[in-house]
Amino acid sequence: MKHDHTYQDLAPETRRAIFLLSLATFSSMAVQRICDPMLPELSRVFDAPLNQAAQVVSTFAIVYGLMQLFYGPVGDRWGKYRVVVLAALGCSVGCLACALSKDLAWLVAARVSTALCAAAIIPLSLAWVGDAVRYEYRQETLARVGLGTMLGITAGQLFGGLLTDTLGWRWAFALMAVLFCWVSAMLKQHAHKLPATQEQPHVPAGFFTQLRLAGQDRWVRQILGIALIEGASIFGLLAVTASHLHQTHHISLTLAGMTTALFGVGGMAYMASAKVAIRRLGEVGLARHGGQAFCLAFLLIALTPLWQLAIPACFVAGFAFAMFHNIMQAKATQMVPTARATGVTLFAGFLFLGQSLGVLVLAQLMASLPSSPVMAVDALLVWALSAFFARAIAHRNATQADHA
């Protein structure tokens, strides 16, 4: 009888580490998204136009992407889990600096310092899973780590808007400082319980050698190109959704943040059903249908005259995004198996470089054009991207089957 591999078959120490890493990815994603609903308030407080206030999002993403070139070889050489512990502690210091900011320039600089550390957490957590978990368990395991990421999107959007409207935006960063400090301590405490094979770093071939080898692989180039466009289109949309709802429908930042936070709730719903969805739709179906559903949901968000319709649409968009992105993550962990941290961080670098470009372009376009048509065109781009990704997966699967 064929054994049905499940997440529960993993060792308890590994499952505990994955839970703690999901808390770290939660924190990392929350600190990325926490400024999204703050942008109108930051624009008012610092007397700056919205596209200038958006630097707290765009500069974070630029630094986050560039730092992948650093953390990939560092994670492979010194140990992925160990670097995540130190990175979480560094994020705590960076968030405290954000809370104490005296002007927009200080806040942007503090966000840069936070991004310098946060850049390590999600990609090295995924790379650690790639090393510690066999492929038959990996998609379900990555979905559980991704659950922390999607919860982070929800929490960042929700508390970013809620605390801005109540206690003040500084308290949002103070909360994140405490959270990162606690997560770092919990990860450190569990480190000695991990099997030596999961904690032992190795020295791969030189970083530029790895880049050259990766660049010669057509599949790797496709994944990195898709990641770049995904970051620009999907994460760019997410960054401006709260501002669109606030300015177009004249609802409060709290309500706009709560509505946008349903994106994360939808992602969590997918993560909870990932095992069934993977079996029923397969990788090609998840990529294709995920992009289609995301596009339709954001067309509704962009064009509806009733803001209430954005509530279910944000939920559907989050579910659809998780369908698409979970497959992207699984493929990224297999791009460079001999130096997994380098491969995954290279993927993350392209993803967040795309995000930074998307935020800058969308903020600039929305400063001179109505937000609705700008967001609608972006949503159609996601549909086209998902169709290309689905065809690329099908072609690669067929090629591998022919060579088997």
Percent of the chain residues past pLDDT 70, beyond the cut: 88
Q: Compute the residue count for the chain.
A: 404
The predicted model gives 50-59 an average pLDDT of 81
pTM for the whole structure: 0.72
**What band does 326 get if pLDDT is binned at 50, 70 and 90?**
confident
The predicted model gives 184-193 an average pLDDT of 88
Closest residue by Cα to residue 134 from 6, 276, 279: 6
Q: CB-based burial of residue 180 (10 Å sphere; 0-12 exposed, 13-18 middle, 19+ buried)?
A: buried
Tell me how many degrees the CA angle 326-351-62 measures, rounded to the nearest 5.
145
pLDDT of res. 350 = 86
Dist. CA 146–CA 203, nearest whole Å: 27
Query: Higher pLDDT residue, 72 or 303?
Result: 303
How many CB atoms sit inside 10 A of residue 387's CB?
A: 14
Dist. CA 322–CA 10, nearest whole Å: 23
Cα separations in angstroms, 251 against 141, 161, 299, 363, 375: 38, 12, 19, 19, 18
**What band does 114 get if pLDDT is binned at 50, 70 and 90?**
very high
Phi and psi angles of residue 114, each rounded to the nearest 5 degrees, phi first: -65, -45
Tell the residue number behind the tokens 């890493």, with chain if given. 21
Lowest mean pLDDT among 28-32, 62-66, 203-207, 299-303: 203-207
Cα torsion at 294, 299, 300, 301 (round to 10°)?
90
Give the containing element (helix H, strand E) for 280: helix 274-303
Dist. CA 172–CA 257, nearest whole Å: 13
pLDDT of res. 206 = 60
Cα separations in angstroms, 162 against 55, 121, 338, 381: 21, 25, 44, 31
Question: Which residues 6+ apart lie within 8 Å of 322 measured at CB?
Answer: 143, 146, 150, 266, 267, 270, 271, 274, 290
Q: Could you tell me the two tokens for 393?
A: 């997966």
202-259 pLDDT, tens digit per residue, is 555 565 666 666 666 788 888 889 999 998 888 888 878 888 888 888 888 778 877 8
Tell the residue number behind the tokens 């689905």, with chain if given. 390
Closest residue by Cα to residue 60 from 132, 111, 2: 111
How many CB atoms sit inside 10 A of residue 229's CB?
A: 20
Q: How far from the centroid of its chain's Cα atoms is residue 389's Cα? A: 18
Dist. CA 269–CA 272, nearest whole Å: 5
Closest residue by Cα to residue 189 from 178, 197, 181: 181
Q: Are 317 and 198 in contact (CB under 8 A)?
A: no
**Average per-residue pLDDT in the chain?**
82
Q: Are 275 and 337 in contact (CB under 8 A)?
A: no
Tell the residue number behind the tokens 């450190």, with chain if given. 188
Q: Are 290 and 232 in contact (CB under 8 A)?
A: no
User: Could you give all domains of the chain from N- to C-terminal order, each with its CATH number?
Assistant: 10-192+204-403 (1.20.1250.20)
CA atoms within 13 A on the CB side of 156: 25
Query: Higher pLDDT residue, 38 or 199?
Result: 38
Cα separations in angstroms, 107 against 45, 56, 57, 179: 12, 7, 11, 19
Closest residue by Cα to residue 341 from 90, 12, 87, 46: 87
- Whether the pLDDT of residue 306 is over 50: the answer is yes
- Whether the pLDDT of residue 397 is over 80: the answer is no
The predicted model gives 179-194 an average pLDDT of 89
Closest residue by Cα to residue 190 from 114, 84, 90, 342: 84
